[in-house]
């Protein structure tokens, strides 16, 4: 079997496996499948989260399975396993087939100085991680492809073919931005083959750095080489196999070996390094530039105070989320939690959580609500930004009765918009849908005199903040649709003592009277 055929079979298998995991990341199909496998295999995710949290997650140790073969053979992940790389490979192959001349394909696959940009991006992300902000998910290919599938591709498919993916239409904030980025990176293959892989990919840069020490490498025999440059015709990494091989850029696709008409190229164990460029081409100025970008991103991101004192009331995190600073040190913006959410309440942020929290998940009650007996988001989170919690822990029953339920926030009424309070119209929807027991929403009966002099008896609703868990179903079901008369804010969430709702100790006293205590 030719190596090219073996590689294609590998690409089909891993791309299909990735799509399978994306599809089954759903309440209806999850059934214990390891849907985070590709994210856990990603060594950049493992290293970056270890830097920001000083913790190595057991699930992310799978990345060793990728690091070891990289140290042996080079960047095999980029062209044999990576689903995002395979997408660009197929796109580049289709475009390459349409090129008018073979010489044009050869010229397009020569190394360019622009390809060093990915190392600048990698340095910026590692420096930012050292300072405590995790941003590798912005451009890491596995995170990026997961996010693209969740926010743009699957909802688009469902719009074209209703009920093919979701039972009901799903909507996501920023879908146009995510979709445009996907189209941009794919479309740039028209300009530079495998543009994302060669120019942008920080994971490729990380693996390229590791592959510089690979034991098996492409070797060229100068005595046989006739300088025809045909080895460049299908070179995926633009690694210059026709001269000094750039090992950090080589995707180990073996196309050059099969395309060489003189058998001048071979894959050898520890060949002479005189005929290769072993390390990435990165000047001190570019390394300094990457470091400054990482420092600047951290400084500007934290200067708004959005992670602590100046937090947005709209930033309501999923149940089980760790405190905000810890959350930003762990969340890789893969949007797995958004994909698995059965009510569509989880949405990617744009700037609600500041620049540092871009594309992290929050709850949007206009689109859904947090189902009381659901903890799926924590089950699929690969880095612990959303902790795995049980239904008993989330609802505060059984052995967790002493600490009470997990609270996402607190609901408040806007009396100027509430039908019974301001419009003399009967409505008890919020009280009816409140899922906790005893209900956090209760009402008091009042008799009023209308403007025309006729009396009317209404039930005016109130929120007991000691019982409200911030699930948002009241806001979601409120009949005042443009801006609900009851809205949930992040205040009172259990993950942060700094965001407690304090009213002269009244809430704390109420919790104690109910036999619970704040966490």
> How confident is the model over 305-345, as pLDDT tens digits?
777 777 888 999 999 999 999 999 999 999 999 999 999 99
Asked whether residue 150 is domain-assigned, the answer is no
Task: Give me the percent of the chain exceeding a pLDDT of 70.
Answer: 95
Query: Are 115 and 196 in a shared domain?
Result: yes
* pLDDT higher than threshold 90 for residue 375: yes
Q: Identify the domain containing residue 456 by its residue range.
A: 324-513
Helix (H, G, I), strand (E, B) or coil at 61: helix
Mean pLDDT of 450-466: 92
Query: Are 401 and 256 in a shared domain?
Result: no
pLDDT digits (tens, 9 = 90+) for 190-221: 899 999 999 999 999 999 999 988 999 899 99
Residue linked to tokens 């009765």: 401
Q: Give residue 505's pLDDT.
A: 47
| Distance set, CA 195 to CA 125, 146, 187, 209, 496 (Å) | 20, 19, 9, 19, 43
Asked whether residue 286 is domain-assigned, the answer is no
Mean pLDDT of 395-417: 94
Q: Give residue 194's pLDDT.
A: 93
Confirm if 202 and 223 have CB atoms less than 8 A apart: no
* pLDDT higher than threshold 50 for residue 513: no
Q: Give residue 514's pLDDT.
A: 47
Q: Which residue has the higher pLDDT, 60 or 322?
A: 322
* pLDDT higher than threshold 90 for residue 4: no
How far apart, in whole angstroms, are the C-alpha atoms of residue 454 and residue 167? 46
* pLDDT higher than threshold 90 for residue 15: yes
* pLDDT higher than threshold 80 for residue 181: yes
Asked whether residue 352 is domain-assigned, the answer is yes
* pLDDT higher than threshold 60 for residue 116: yes
* pLDDT higher than threshold 80 for residue 501: no
Q: To which H or E segment does residue 139 belong?
A: none
pLDDT digits (tens, 9 = 90+) for 413-453: 999 999 999 999 999 999 999 999 999 999 999 999 888 88
Q: Give residue 519's pLDDT.
A: 40
Query: Are 239 and 333 in a shared domain?
Result: no
Please name every residue paired with 488 in a beta bridge, in sequence order, or none if there are none.
411
Query: Are 259 and 338 in a shared domain?
Result: no
Asked whether residue 292 is domain-assigned, the answer is no
Please name every residue paired with 460 in a beta bridge, in sequence order, or none if there are none.
444
Mean pLDDT of 500-506: 58
| pLDDT band at residue 154 under the 50/70/90 scheme | very high
In degrees to the nearest 10, what's the CA dihedral of 348, 354, 356, 357?
-20
* pLDDT higher than threshold 70 for residue 99: no
| pLDDT band at residue 498 under the 50/70/90 scheme | confident
Asked whether residue 239 is domain-assigned, the answer is yes
Domain total in the chain: 2
Query: Are 246 and 363 in a shared domain?
Result: no
Q: Which residue has the higher pLDDT, 483 or 60?
A: 483
Average pLDDT in the chain: 90
Query: Are 257 and 359 in a shared domain?
Result: no
Q: Give residue 344's pLDDT.
A: 96
Q: To which H or E segment does residue 258 belong?
A: helix 255-259
pLDDT digits (tens, 9 = 90+) for 278-302: 778 788 888 999 999 999 988 888 8
Query: Are 333 and 258 in a shared domain?
Result: no
Asked whether residue 290 is domain-assigned, the answer is no
Which of these three, 277, 301, 336, is where a domain ends?
A: 277
* pLDDT higher than threshold 60 for residue 98: no
| pLDDT band at residue 239 under the 50/70/90 scheme | very high
| pTM exceeding 0.85 | yes
Task: Give me the percent of the chain exceeding a pLDDT of 90.
Answer: 71
How far apart, in whole angstroms, are the C-alpha atoms of residue 10 and residue 177? 31
Query: Are 211 and 331 in a shared domain?
Result: no
How far apart, in whole angstroms, are the C-alpha atoms of residue 360 and residue 375? 18
- The structure tokens listed for 397 are 């029953």
Query: Are 233 and 369 in a shared domain?
Result: no
Asked whether residue 354 is domain-assigned, the answer is yes
270: CB partners within 8 A, 6+ apart: 215, 216, 217
Asked whether residue 104 is domain-assigned, the answer is yes
Task: Give the other-Cβ count within 10 Å of 163's Cβ.
Answer: 9
* pLDDT higher than threshold 80 for residue 517: no
Task: Give the other-Cβ count within 10 Å of 322's Cβ.
Answer: 19
Helix (H, G, I), strand (E, B) or coil at 515: coil
How far apart, in whole angstroms, are the C-alpha atoms of residue 223 and residue 185? 40
* pLDDT higher than threshold 70 for residue 508: no
310 CB-contact burial (10 Å; exposed 0-12 / middle 13-18 / buried 19+): exposed
How far apart, in whole angstroms, are the C-alpha atoms of residue 393 and residue 319? 10
| pLDDT band at residue 100 under the 50/70/90 scheme | low
Nearest-CA neighbor of 367 among 477, 488, 480?
Answer: 477
Q: Give residue 392's pLDDT.
A: 96
Q: Give residue 387's pLDDT.
A: 95
> What b/e readout covers 268-289, taking b as 16+ CB neighbours within 10 angstroms?
eeebeeeebbeebebeeebeee
Confirm if 465 and 410 have CB atoms less than 8 A apart: yes
Query: Are 129 and 220 in a shared domain?
Result: yes
């Amino acid at each position: 079997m030719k190596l090219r055929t073996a590689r294609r079979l590998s690409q089909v298998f891993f791309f299909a496996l990735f799509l399978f995991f994306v599809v089954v990341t759903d309440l209806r199909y999850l059934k214990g499948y390891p849907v985070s496998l590709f994210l856990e295999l990603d060594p950049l995710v493992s290293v970056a989260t270890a830097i920001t949290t000083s913790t190595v997650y057991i699930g992310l140790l799978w990345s060793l399975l990728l690091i070891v073969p990289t140290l042996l053979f080079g960047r095999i992940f980029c062209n044999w396993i990576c689903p995002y790389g395979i997408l660009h490979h197929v796109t580049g192959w289709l475009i390459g087939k349409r090129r008018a001349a073979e010489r044009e394909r050869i010229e397009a696959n020569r190394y360019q100085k622009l390809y060093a940009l990915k190392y600048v991006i990698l340095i910026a992300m590692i420096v930012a991680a050292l300072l405590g902000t995790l941003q590798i998910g912005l451009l890491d290919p596995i995170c990026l492809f997961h996010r693209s599938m969740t926010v743009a591709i699957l909802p688009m498919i469902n719009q074209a073919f209703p009920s093919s993916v979701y039972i009901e239409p799903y909507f996501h904030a920023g879908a146009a931005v995510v979709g445009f980025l996907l189209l941009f990176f794919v479309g740039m293959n028209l300009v530079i083959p495998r543009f994302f892989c060669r120019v942008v990919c920080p994971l490729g840069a990380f693996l390229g750095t590791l592959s510089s020490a690979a034991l098996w490498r492409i070797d060229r025999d100068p005595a046989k080489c006739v300088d025809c440059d045909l080895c460049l015709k299908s070179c995926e990494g633009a690694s210059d196999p026709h001269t000094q091989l750039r090992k950090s850029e080589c995707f180990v696709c073996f196309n050059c070996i099969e395309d060489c008409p003189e058998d001048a190229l071979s894959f050898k164990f520890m060949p002479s390094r005189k005929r290769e460029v072993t390390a990435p081409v990165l000047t001190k100025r570019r390394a300094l530039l990457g470091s400054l970008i990482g420092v600047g991103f951290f400084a500007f991101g934290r200067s708004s105070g959005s992670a602590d004192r100046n937090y947005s009331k709209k930033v309501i995190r999923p149940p089980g989320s760790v405190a905000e600073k810890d959350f930003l040190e762990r969340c890789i913006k893969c949007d797995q939690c958004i994909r698995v959410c059965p009510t569509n309440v989880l949405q990617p942020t744009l700037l609600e959580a500041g620049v540092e929290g871009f594309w992290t998940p929050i709850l949007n009650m206009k689109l859904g609500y947090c189902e009381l007996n659901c903890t799926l988001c924590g089950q699929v989170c690969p880095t612990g930004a959303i902790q795995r919690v049980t239904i008993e822990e989330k609802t505060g029953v059984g052995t967790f009765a002493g600490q009470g339920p997990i609270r996402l926030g607190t609901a408040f009424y806007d009396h100027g918009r509430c039908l019974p309070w301001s419009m003399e119209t009967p409505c008890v929807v919020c009280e009816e849908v409140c899922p906790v027991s005893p209900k956090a929403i209760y009402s008091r009966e009042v008799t009023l005199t209308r403007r025309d002099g006729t009396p009317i008896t209404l039930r005016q609703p109130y929120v007991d903040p000691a019982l409200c868990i911030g699930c948002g179903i009241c806001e979601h079901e409120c009949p005042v649709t443009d801006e609900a008369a009851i809205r949930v804010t992040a205040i009172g969430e259990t993950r942060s003592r700094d965001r407690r709702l304090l009213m002269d100790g009244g809430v704390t006293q109420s919790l104690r009277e109910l036999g619970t205590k704040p966490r």
